Amino acid sequence: MIRKAVIPAAGFGTRFLPATKCSPKEMLPIVDTPVIQYVVEEAVASGITDILMVIGRGKRAIEEHFDRSAELEWELEAKGKLDQLRQIRRISELANIHFVWQKRMLGLGDAIRCAEAHVGDEPFAVLLGDTLLQSTSGVPAVKQLIDAYEATKTSVVAVEAVTPEKVSKYGVIAGEPEKDIGDGKIWRVDDLVEKPAPEEAPSNYAIASRYVLTPDVFAALHDVRPGKGGEIQLTDALRLLAHASPIHARIIDAVRHDVGNHMGFIKTNIIYGLLRPDLRDTLAAFIKETAKDL
Ligand code: UTP
C-alpha cells in the first residue's frame, strides 16, 4: 500500500517572474485556491496520508497555508462566516504534512533526493507542486498510478500523448504496451530521454508530472551526473533504473495543466472557472463578449 507522497515545490519558477520573486509559484491561485492545494487534494483522494513537501527559500507561504491560522479562524467565527471557517480548517486537516528544505535548487532529481530520509524503504508517490492533472475518468491521476504499481510492483510514471512540437518540453519514454495488464495503457519502459529534439524523440509519450517510485530510485539519484540545464534530472535516474530492472508508464486518463507558465496559468483559470457553478454563466458571457472583438 502506498501512503507517502513527495511534492517538490522548491524551484525558482523563473518562467513566472516577477510574481515568483518572493511568492511560491505553487501558491498561484486557480480561481481562489492555490495550485498546491489541488495537488494535495489529489494525493489525499488517492489514499495518501503522509505528504512531504520539498521547499526552499521564499516558500514559507506554503508552510503557512497548510498550518492552522488561529486569528483568522476567530475572526471568521466572530463574524458568523461559518462556511469559510470550515474551508480554512479543512486545509490544515487534509493530511500529515511535513517539510524538508532543498538548500540549493539543483533540479527535480535533487529535490527528490531530499526526501530519502523521510520516505525510507517504501514505494512513494511524487506529484509536482505546480501542475494539475484533471482526471477524465473520475479516478484521481495518482490513484491510477498507484493501481498500476499494484499490478506491476515497479516504478510507474504517468505519461500523456503530446504533439511533436511539445516533446522537447518534457521527458519522453521509449517502450511497448505490457501484455496482459492495463488494457494497453501500461507500457514497459525501455528508455527515457529528457527534453529531446522532436526528430530524436523515441515516442510521443511525455512524462506527466506524477510518479510512483520504488526506493531504489535513491541509489540511482546518487549515481546520476548533472544533465540538461546542469540539473540533477529525475528522468536520468529513471533511465538508470529502466536499464537495470523493469519500470512502467501508465497512459494517464487526465489532462495536464502546467500552471508555471503564462498560457498554462491563464488557460487553467478559465477552465476551472467554467467548472464553478457560481462563476460559470458570468465567465462564459464575458468570454463570448470579449471574443467578439478579437
Ligand atoms: P520546474 O522545472 O517546472 O520548476 O519543476 P522551476 O525550476 O521552478 O521552473 P522554471 O523553469 O524556473 O520556471 C517542476 C517542480 O519541481 C520543483 C518545482 O518547484 C516545481 O514544482 N523543483 C524544481 C524543485 O523542487 N527543486 C528544483 O531544484 C527544481
| Alpha carbon nearest to ligand 1 atom 18, residue | 11
C-alpha cell, 214: 520504488
Contact 142, 5 (CB under 8 A): yes
Question: Which residue's entry shows cell 517539510?
Answer: 99
Domains for the chain: give ranges and CATH numbers: 4-288 (3.90.550.10)
Q: Residue 15: CB within 6 Å of ligand 1?
A: yes
Q: For residue 208, report the distance from its CA to the centre of ligand 1, in Å.
A: 14
Burial of 184 (0-12, 13-18, 19+ CB in 10 A): exposed
Q: Residue 160: CB within 6 Å of ligand 1?
A: no
**294 residues of the chain, pLDDT tens digit each:** 899 999 999 999 999 999 999 999 999 999 999 999 999 999 999 999 999 999 998 899 999 999 999 999 999 999 999 999 999 999 999 999 999 999 999 999 999 999 999 999 999 999 999 999 999 999 999 999 999 999 999 999 999 999 998 999 999 999 999 988 878 899 999 999 888 999 999 999 999 999 999 999 999 999 999 887 889 999 999 999 999 999 999 999 999 999 999 999 999 999 999 999 999 999 999 999 999 988
d(CA 212, CA 70): 35
What is the pLDDT, as a whole number, of residue 283? 98
CA dihedral 189, 206, 233, 57 (to 10 degrees): -140
Q: Residue 260: CB within 6 Å of ligand 1?
A: yes
Give the C-alpha distances (Å, rounded to integers) separating 182 from 173, 238, 246, 278.
17, 21, 16, 38
d(CA 261, CA 147): 30
What is the pLDDT, as a whole number, of residue 57? 87
d(CA 247, CA 112): 18
Give the DSSP letter string of 2-69.
--EEEEE-----GGGTTTTSSS-GGG-EETTEEHHHHHHHHHHHTT--EEEEEE-TT-HHHHHHTS--
Instruction: Count the neighbouring beta carbons within 10 Å of the beta carbon of residue 237.
Output: 27
Give the C-alpha distances (Å, rounded to integers) separating 121 from 1, 36, 60, 61, 129.
13, 26, 28, 30, 23
Q: For residue 101, report the distance from its CA to the centre of ligand 1, in Å.
A: 14
Q: Residue 227: CB within 6 Å of ligand 1?
A: no
Q: Residue 111: CB within 6 Å of ligand 1?
A: yes
Q: For residue 108, report the distance from its CA to the centre of ligand 1, in Å.
A: 6
Q: For residue 97, report the distance from its CA to the centre of ligand 1, in Å.
A: 20
| Alpha carbon nearest to ligand 1 atom 7, residue | 11
What is the pLDDT, as a whole number, of residue 21? 92
Q: Residue 130: CB within 6 Å of ligand 1?
A: yes
Give the DSSP letter string of 163-180.
-GGGGGGSEEEEEEEPTT
Q: For residue 127, report the distance from its CA to the centre of ligand 1, in Å.
A: 12
Beta bridge partners of 158: 250
Q: Residue 110: CB within 6 Å of ligand 1?
A: yes
d(CA 38, CA 29): 10
Question: Which residue's entry shows cell 529513471?
Answer: 238
